[in-house]
Structure 1
Amino acid sequence: MTTSTSTPDSYYERIDEHRYKPTAHAGGAWSTDEQHFSPLGGLIVHALDRHLAGRPGAEMALGRMSFDILGRLALDECETRVEVLRPGRTIELVEVTVVIGGRAVVRARAWLLATLDTSAVAGGGAGRLTDPASLAPWDMASRWPGGYIASLDVRPLAPPLPGRTTAWISTGLDLVAGEAASPRASFVTLVDTANGIAVRESPTEWMFPNVDLTLHFHRAPRGDWTGLDTTVVFGPTGQGITSTVLHDVDGPVGHAQQLLTVRPQP
């Protein structure tokens, strides 16, 4: 754990085997004294990876990851607890709970599937996105506050539109100080950004935080960039949905959905 008074180049510092301290870089967009869910989602996958790393047998693929946000994500020490709900050699269900201040604030469930060679029938889905190296950065911090947003390199394929944006997201920060994160944990660390890149209404006038995040993968992501092809819809009775096709530099890897609670700013 870093003892310097300066902010480390990471979203979290490890306290012990299951506890982590968020840095200022994890600060939220709706409230800067809360954690943005995006790096916390990555931390949950990191905790899952560590739980699975010491077990015998072949590595299993992450097919689905669902996160339910149960309460306020204070910018405070958090603990991760991992439990296998449905063990199996080919299909397994694992739950990760995040506790802050003695209260469960996130419950996440991961369906893990055995891997085998299906390359002969692989196909379908969207085409590849324009390479991020050829795109100009966008100052997302001009619209959103918080340490997390300030930490990002955001490169839209075209100027962002209300409710519709396709962009690449990357960061130069580590997930946990001094620790290597898996490609899937690093990828998930950036996915919850989707709800902020395709803003339908000004966040100074309307609130539209997500209460969940569900990811489905048809292959494992790789590389340093997370591609988000995002559409946001608001309904007439206070609900909304952010839908995203997820990409890495090789093409689409899956989908993400976020349920929004839409309401005017107080």
Structure 2
Amino acid sequence: MAYFERVGECAFRATGHVSGAWDPDTQHIAPALGLLTHAVEADRDRRRADHLVLSRLSFDILGTVPVDVVEIRVEVIRPGRTIELVEATLSHAGRDAVLLRAWLLQTRDTTGLRGIALPAIAAPEDLPAWDPTTVWPGGFIASAEVRRHQVEPGRAAFWVRTPIPLIDDTAVSRLARAAGLLDIANGMTVRAHPREVAFPNVDLTVHLLAEPRGEWLGFDTAVCFGAGGTGFTSSVLHDVHGPIGTMTQALTVRPG
């Protein structure tokens, strides 16, 4: 069973693997982000053959989504020969729930200029397995395999992979598959137990240097709470070859 089953040209039914960590009756938003990323790439490939790459993905989460049928629509906001801004919207029962704005850029050979001032993390096989269901409920968390080095509460390096396809009977890119795991970061090194403090994220923005390679997606993550009810989760993203991007999530911190 996949995270989503296609039920129409632009409609998808969430399966039990999508059930959420804060509330199992609503979706964990992570697979929906992969679905939106796939929709942007599929729209790009229908319109043009030069394969602009997705450089930035900025998601705004407008509310919770039931484990039910969702619909996707895509619009080009800023067309261009070498740069495009594309918006994709996920809705449920006529209500917009998640927005994605993606910058698509033309590729060039900059091998001679390559430089990344970000440290690597230990390889997946060098980190111990960790069971995230000891902290979180829900089908999505149960579907993920995690290997983690916990430094302290709110600080960890970890790798995530899943055997579950994003969409049934549909091939998706490595980026779309990875995007379906990104939102797990906020829960993999909690600063406070979710039974005592709620800290859902209202957005997620990722900047990419390259598409991830391999089945593992790595995170070097810090969770920070401020004194006024806000916080953020900041991650450096990795594949097995090294750092590939950065990601931030804005949190609303709500003590029980």
TM class, shorter-length: over 0.9
Q: Quote the residue 2:193 is aligned against.
A: 202
User: Does structure 1 conserve the Cα–Cα contact (< 8 Å) formed by 2:205 and 2:249?
Assistant: yes
Q: Is 2:218 the counterpart of 1:248?
A: no
Q: Quote the residue 2:213 is aligned against.
A: 222
Q: Could you state the TM-score of these two structures normalised by the residue count of structure 2?
A: 0.97
User: Does structure 1 conserve the Cα–Cα contact (< 8 Å) formed by 2:150 and 2:189?
Assistant: no
Supply the distance in 2 between the matched residues of 1:160 and 1:120 (Cα, whole angstroms).
Answer: 35
Supply the distance in 2 between the matched residues of 1:234 and 1:264 (Cα, whole angstroms).
Answer: 11
Q: Quote the residue 1:166 is aligned against.
A: 157
Alpha-carbon distance, 1:220 to partner: 2.0
Supply the distance in 2 between the matched residues of 1:53 and 1:13 (Cα, whole angstroms).
Answer: 21
User: Does structure 1 conserve the Cα–Cα contact (< 8 Å) formed by 2:83 and 2:105?
Assistant: yes
User: Does structure 2 conserve the Cα–Cα contact (< 8 Å) formed by 1:38 and 1:193?
Assistant: yes
Aligned pairs (5 A) from 1:17-166: 17-156=9-148, 158-159=149-150, 161-166=152-157
**Displacement over 3 Å in runs of 4+:** none
Supply the distance in 1 between the matched residues of 2:152 and 2:144 (Cα, whole angstroms).
Answer: 19
Supply the distance in 2 between the matched residues of 1:72 and 1:38 (Cα, whole angstroms).
Answer: 12
What number of residue pairs does the alignment pair up? 256
Segment of structure 1 superposing worse, 186-195 or 134-143:
134-143
Supply the distance in 1 between the matched residues of 2:156 and 2:25 (Cα, whole angstroms).
Answer: 27
Structure 1 residue matching 2:80: 3-state secondary structure: coil
User: Does structure 2 conserve the Cα–Cα contact (< 8 Å) formed by 1:191 and 1:228?
Assistant: no
Structure 1 residue matching 2:56: 3-state secondary structure: strand
Alpha-carbon distance, 1:160 to partner: 5.5
**Structure 1 residues 120 and 55 mapped into 2: Cα distance closer, same or farther (>3 Å)?**
same
Segment of structure 1 superposing worse, 256-265 or 134-143:
134-143
Supply the distance in 1 between the matched residues of 2:9 and 2:214 (Cα, whole angstroms).
Answer: 27
User: Does structure 2 conserve the Cα–Cα contact (< 8 Å) formed by 1:85 and 1:93?
Assistant: yes
Q: Could you state the TM-score of these two structures normalised by the residue count of structure 1?
A: 0.94
Unaligned runs of 5+ in 1: 1-7
Alpha-carbon distance, 1:128 to partner: 2.9
Supply the distance in 1 between the matched residues of 2:96 and 2:47 (Cα, whole angstroms).
Answer: 26
Supply the distance in 1 between the matched residues of 2:150 and 2:29 (Cα, whole angstroms).
Answer: 25
Supply the distance in 1 between the matched residues of 2:153 and 2:226 (Cα, whole angstroms).
Answer: 15
Supply the distance in 2 between the matched residues of 1:262 and 1:182 (Cα, whole angstroms).
Answer: 34
The Cα RMSD (Å) is: 1.0
Q: Quote the residue 2:177 is aligned against.
A: 186
Unaligned runs of 5+ in 2: none
User: Does structure 2 conserve the Cα–Cα contact (< 8 Å) formed by 1:162 and 1:198?
Assistant: yes
Alpha-carbon distance, 1:133 to partner: 2.7
User: Does structure 1 conserve the Cα–Cα contact (< 8 Å) formed by 2:236 and 2:243?
Assistant: yes
Segment of structure 1 superposing worse, 218-227 or 165-174:
218-227
Letter in 2 for 1:20: F
